[in-house]
Structure 1
Amino acid sequence: MPSFHNGNVEIAYLDEGEGDPILLIHGFASSKNVNWVYPGWVSELTKAGRRVIAIDNRGHGESTKLYDPEEYHIGVMAADARALLDHLGIARADIMGYSMGGRITAYLAYSTPQRVRSAVLGGIGIGLIAGGGPGENVATALEADQLADVTDPMGRTFRAFADQTRSDRRALAACLRGSRRLMTRDEAAAITVPTLIAVGTTDDVAGSAHALGEVITQAQVLDIPDRDHMRAVGDRVYKAGVREFLAQRP
């Protein structure tokens, strides 16, 4: 896979297809492959005539692993995404993020809207503002010697996922501790780029999509029926909704 350096951090990415560019930003403990390639997103979007770029966030996948939480602020990871667009000579792109990637996407839409043609916030609802989801309980679970030592239900879910993806658990714990900055209600309300909020109806991590839609008043909301946080990623309703949104956005 190709990579580039943003400062001293090597960032891996993929770049496939031709057409309008869309940047995909994966969720916590995931990777470009787990979040976007294996569930069929890359093939789906390239077949729809898109140029698909997917990043491995720092601490994840094939990118550099760091162990200081200060290296993982949302603004720092958003800067990696902007640097990737700069590296590829892309002035403006549609951007879709899932979960933590949705937080990064929202930050980009707020802070540098001139780079964001549209934003898809997958797997993140009002938790963007109100918090919730993985916290210190998950960081502690990631640092446990073995899964059997973890009793917290959410901690067990994310620890099992990290083990499944063969992730660097110490880097993930640092990422979790550093990336928990919440967006304020005023910041979210200031997002004016075309936005789609897509959350599973049984997702107990993201928070309400409709509540976030009341804050980002120009956003569309897509309910992904009967899907939780982990199973919504590759859902066909999600994919169809994104294709329709991208086809209709200005």
Structure 2
Amino acid sequence: MQFFSHDGFELAFVDEGEGDPVLLIHGFASTHHVNWVAPGWVKTLRDAGYRVIALDNRGHGRSTKSHDAQDYTPEKMADDAAALLDHLGIPRAHVMGYSMGARVAAFLALRHPDRVATLVFGGLGIGMVEGVGEWDVIAEALLTEDPEGITHPRGRMFRSFADQTKSDRQALAACISTSRTLLTRGEVARIRQPALVAVGTKDDIAGAPEPMAALLPQGEAFSIDRRDHMLSVGDKTFKARVLEFLAAHPL
């Protein structure tokens, strides 16, 4: 585990392997380890000949926590990712994000387009534009003292996930309130890098991948068969499709 400083935060990251760099940005309430190490992504990419960089987003994992919602806009988290590339002296990288991390990756491509070679949007399809349903219940669930009283299924799921990862629930509640900025169709059309949009066929959070891919000038859609939002992450067909996509677009 290594650390670097940006915008008043100490941000944790790992950097493994050699070859074309792939920057991994995890989802809400997750960590680099839960999203990328445990499901085998770091090993898969490293073994395929890539340099793999994965950070803990601000408010998550071993990075600095803030309880100020204004610290968690996707623009600020995208700038953290660009700062990590600066810190490592990497001019341009493949970028892969999952769920909230996919949104951050999109903002990274818009704010720092020269730094992004290709994009993989995992676990977030047209929901990046149209929204992904009611999320205020998640903030309420995170701040509830007794989790037994949580009745909303999505709130219960994310509270359980946050407890499993031993997260700072106040930081996550702040994050969920400001990290959901939607992109306009015009903004998506400005993302000109080759982009793969991958969503599970049983994912009721992300929105369909095909309409999102259709908005991207170089978009491709991939459906992760019989997987929901959580189980899509480590799916072997998803890994195989990403490796195929990266091989088709070398730096």
TM-score by length of 2: 0.98
Paired residue for 2:98? 98
Deviations 1:201-223 (A, max 9, x none): 11000001111112114201111
Aligned to 1:144: 144
Q: Per the alignment, do residues 33 and 134 of structure 1 end up closer, same or farther by CA in structure 2, a change over 3 Å counting? A: farther
Comparing 212-221 with 115-124, greater Cα deviation is found at: 212-221
Structure 1 gaps, min length 5: none
Matched, 1:225 2:225: yes
SS in 1 for 2:222: strand
Matched with 1:44 is 44
Name which of structure 1's ranges 203-212 and 127-136 shifts more when overlaid on structure 2: 127-136
Given that 1:22 and 1:96 are in contact with CA atoms closer than 8 Å, whether structure 2 keeps it comes out as yes
Give the residue type in structure 1 aligned to 2:186: D
Give identity over the alignment, percent.
55
Give SS of 1:198's match: strand
Asked if 1 retains the 8 angstrom alpha-carbon contact of 2:58 and 2:77, the reply is yes
SS of the counterpart of 1:170? helix
What secondary structure, in the 3-state scheme, does the structure 2 residue paired with 1:246 have? Answer: helix
1:214-241 Cα distance to aligned partner (Å, 9 max, x none): 2114201111000000000000010000
Answer whether contact 1:133 1:205 (CA < 8 A) is retained.
yes
- Cα offsets for 1:7-29 (capped at 9, x unmatched): 31000000000010000000000
Query: Partner residue of 1:74?
Result: 74
Relative to the length of structure 1, the TM-score reads 0.98
Q: Distance in 2 between matches of 1:134 and 1:217?
A: 29
Aligned counterpart, 2:28: 28
1:1-250 equivalent positions in 2, closer than 5 A: 1-133=1-133, 135-250=135-250
Q: Distance in 2 between matches of 1:211 and 1:122?
A: 14
Instruction: Supply the distance in 2 between the matched residues of 1:106 and 1:249 (Cα, whole angstroms).
Output: 18
Q: Partners of 2:3 and 2:249 in 1: how far apart?
A: 30
Deviation at 1:113, TM superposition (A): 1.4
Q: C-alpha displacement at 1:133, in angstroms?
A: 4.3
Residue 193 of structure 1 aligns with an amino acid whose one-letter code is: Q
What is the total number of aligned residue pairs between the two structures? 250
Amino acid at match of 2:228: D
Q: Which one-letter code corresponds to 1:180 in the other structure? A: R
Structure 1 residue 151 displacement after superposition: 0.7
Provide the rounded CA distance (Å) in 2 between the counterparts of 1:75 and 1:7. 12
Unpaired segments ≥5 residues, structure 2: none
**How far apart, CA to CA, are the structure 2 residues paired with 1:35 and 1:138?**
19
CA contact (8 A) 2:82 2:112 kept: no
Question: Where does structure 1 differ by over 4 angstroms across 4 or more consecutive aligned residues?
Answer: none
8 A contact 1:134–1:155 mirrored in 2: no
Q: Please state whether the residue corresponding to 1:212 is helix, strand or coil.
A: helix
